Amino acid sequence: MAVNFKQHLGALLFTGIVAFSAPAMADYDRGMAALQSGNYRVAIMEFTDAAQTGHAASQQKLGDIYRLGQGTTPDLVQAIKWLTLAYLNGMRETLPALEMLRDSVSESELVEGEQLALQWLEDANRVMFADDDTSSLYEQN
């Protein structure tokens, strides 16, 4: 399952579905300020906004927040989702946390977290390429 999952994620990332934007960086900066001041509710909101746009550092922070239960109940499935996305988005330093999570959760939790990451990528792919009309590729001349 893990190899097939990684192939799907890699293929989706390769198509360039994750875009970095200035607003995502602003959300990340506000999230960091909130996190440093202990305002976890605002930090989660800001990191979520940025993470949803594909901002890798925000995905990592959000994964760590869920993993550690900072200002929220620990949610290891959400931690796996966001840390997996961050890893696939170039944040290789998430690997030790991901390995630790994989060793500490049940197989069903691991699969659920990875499926959430895959679903996020598939949804992002649909949004990114929503205007593409591929039906013309199949028309007969």
Report the predicted TM-score, pTM, of the whole model to 2 decimal places.
0.77
Q: Which domain holds residue 29?
A: 2-13+21-126
Q: In total, how many domains does the chain have?
A: 1
pLDDT of residue 99: 97
- Pair 43, 35: CB distance under 8 Å: yes
Q: Is 95 domain-assigned?
A: yes
pLDDT of residue 3: 47
Q: Is 87 domain-assigned?
A: yes
* CA-closest candidate to residue 83, choices 50, 120, 56: 56
Residues with Cβ within 8 Å of residue 86, at least 6 apart in sequence: 56, 57, 59, 60, 63, 94
Two tokens at 1? Answer: 């399952």
Residues with Cβ within 8 Å of residue 28, at least 6 apart in sequence: 46, 47, 50, 55, 57, 58, 61
CATH code for position 103? 1.25.40.10
Q: Is 88 domain-assigned?
A: yes
Q: Is 111 domain-assigned?
A: yes
Q: Is 131 domain-assigned?
A: no
pLDDT of residue 1: 45
Question: Which residues of the chain, if any, have pLDDT below 50?
Answer: 1, 3, 14-20
Residues with Cβ within 8 Å of residue 100, at least 6 apart in sequence: none
Q: Is 134 domain-assigned?
A: no
For residue range 110-134, what is the model confidence (pLDDT) as tens digits? 999 999 999 999 988 887 776 555 5
Helices (H), the chain: 2-14, 22-36, 40-52, 56-68, 76-88, 95-104, 107-128
Q: Is 136 domain-assigned?
A: no
Q: Is 48 domain-assigned?
A: yes
